[in-house]
Amino acid sequence: MEVLLEKIFVYGGVILFCIIIVMIYLRKQKRESRIVEEKIKKAKLEGLHEPVSLHPVVDVNSCIKTGACISACPEKDILGIKDGKATTINASRCIGHGACFHACPTKAITLCIGTEKRGVDLPHVNHNFETNISGIYIAGELGGMGLIRNAVEQGKQAVENITKSLDKNHHADHDLVIIGAGPAGISASLEARKNKLNFITLDQDTLGGTVYTFPRSKIVMTSAMDLPLYGKIKLYETSKPELLKLWQDVLKKNDITVKENTKVESISKSNGHFSITTSTGEEINTKTVLLSIGRRGTPRKLNIQGETLEKVAYRLLEPEGIAGKEIMVIGGGDSAVESALLLADQNKVILSYRSESFSRIKPKNHEKLSAAIADGKIEVRYNTVAERITENEVVLVSNEDGSKHSINNDLVYIFAGGELPTQFLEKIGLKITKKFGEAILKH
């Protein structure tokens, strides 16, 4: 009897212990869910909950709450656990790393572009990266993949597909013309050299594409990537100059020259070949074309008086050489904020933004900006737009009451985003569709 009582006591103790553990776990889960719920409420109030570009969508039926996606994300509070399932919090701050997608052990995450309410214009491409025009391919940011690692992989895969389908007996001057020398274009050029293709790489600006226009100290967050003719690159955090130097070195080593400052004006097809006309007046004949240009195309203009003055610029290249100036930075994205922060150490900086809060910048930039404002290094004029620019002033207009303010000024930097080169693409004949929450990467 005593033995039986002992067993009951032991088993009862074990059961009670398990119940206590479960209760502690459930209480902890409930507390964590409340925290995430509060973060989501705050994100909605600040306009950060709705995604603006590539973002994760969680299948709650497959999610088992490992937290791997949250740990893998290099950003802060993009994802959280609510009611035992992963969910998005500050979705508009997601910059499409894709780390969560690769980290999820149950394949519960899909990377999507656009939402049910907000569509995103993208050219039509098939699984081989070929467009509706046979022989023209797209890789990288233009196709929705702006992340460096993914763009590099797409550039490589696109050229692999081009090589497989290429008619070796064609009579064009070149097998391939690569337009755009950003991450996708560089990877494509290396893969083309690896496959012994006769190719040319063109860029309307300089080597590096969008990366080149980053402010100098900007950290490029990426994951390990496989660069053709180089191998595995593990740069989880690196500066723009370091990344550009790596690309320059590997291109030089493989005898690849990018024709910079060469803008493509038109692409036409006849007799199975493409004729490309450039801004330099050159005509290039090729069998296939890979478009690895950015989505922004050209910087968006404000179309205001004085915008053509020499003091106005749309990118910041050498901030360390600018000192003692009164500077106006216009814009509300990461590029505007990062540029303002870089300039603030040696200049008087005013940041003008048309909205009442910064809803699309990374958490780290938000923290740095808040600190700079508190220290008096940057003055922010919310709810304002520039009306005109003169040699010595900028006139801002309040969105709230229409009042105007003239501000002394030496330099103006405008970061109003860029425009999808829709007209250029449609002129070629490419089909463009608006994506409303369509999956770009899925298991």
pLDDT digits (tens, 9 = 90+) for 250-306: 899 999 999 988 989 999 998 889 999 998 889 999 999 999 987 766 678 899 999
Q: Which residue did the predictor score with more confidence, 361 or 169?
A: 169
Task: Mark whether 101 and 152 lie in a shared domain.
Answer: no
With 0-12 CB in 10 A as exposed, 13-18 as middle and 19+ as buried, what is 210?
buried
Domain end marker among 69, 91, 113: 113
Task: Mark whether 203 and 320 lie in a shared domain.
Answer: no
Task: Mark whether 69 and 47 lie in a shared domain.
Answer: yes
Report H helices in 57-215.
68-72, 99-103, 148-165, 183-194
Task: Mark whether 201 and 290 lie in a shared domain.
Answer: yes
Q: Which residue did the predictor score with more confidence, 208 or 349?
A: 349
pLDDT at position 8? 66
Domain end marker among 113, 145, 168: 113
Task: Mark whether 181 and 47 lie in a shared domain.
Answer: no
Task: Mark whether 130 and 211 lie in a shared domain.
Answer: yes
The CATH number assigned to the domain holding 341 equals: 3.50.50.60
Longest dimension (CA), the chain: 102
Task: Mark whether 433 and 413 lie in a shared domain.
Answer: no
Q: Which residue did the predictor score with more confidence, 58 or 127?
A: 58
For residue 143, pLDDT over 80 is answered with no
For residue 222, pLDDT over 60 is answered with no
pLDDT at position 47? 65
Domain total in the chain: 3
Domain end marker among 81, 113, 145: 113
Task: Mark whether 387 and 247 lie in a shared domain.
Answer: no
Q: Domain range for residue 394?
A: 300-417
Highest mean pLDDT among 2-16, 144-158, 229-243, 380-394: 380-394
Note whether 281 and 221 are within 8 A (CB): no
For residue 419, pLDDT over 90 is answered with no
- Using 50, 70 and 90 to split pLDDT, how confident is the model at 406? very high
Dist CA 326 CA 378 (whole Å): 11
Dist CA 332 CA 320 (whole Å): 22
With 0-12 CB in 10 A as exposed, 13-18 as middle and 19+ as buried, what is 308?
exposed
For residues 378-401, one letter each, b for 16 or more C-beta atoms within 10 angstroms of the residue's C-beta and e for the rest, the string is bebbbbbbbbbbeeebbbbbeeee
Task: Mark whether 288 and 320 lie in a shared domain.
Answer: no
Return the sign of the alpha-carbon dihedral for residues 341, 343, 348, 351: negative
* pLDDT, the chain, mean: 84
Give pTM, 2 decimals: 0.68
For residue 147, pLDDT over 70 is answered with no
- Per-residue pLDDT averaged across 195-200, rounded? 96
- Per-residue pLDDT averaged across 65-90, rounded? 85
Task: Mark whether 71 and 150 lie in a shared domain.
Answer: no
Task: Mark whether 368 and 351 lie in a shared domain.
Answer: yes
pLDDT at position 196? 95
CA angle in degrees (0–180, nearest 5) for 295-296-302: 155
Task: Mark whether 268 and 140 lie in a shared domain.
Answer: yes
Helix (H, G, I), strand (E, B) or coil at 212: helix
pLDDT at position 136? 95
The CATH number assigned to the domain holding 98 equals: 3.30.70.20
pLDDT at position 255? 93
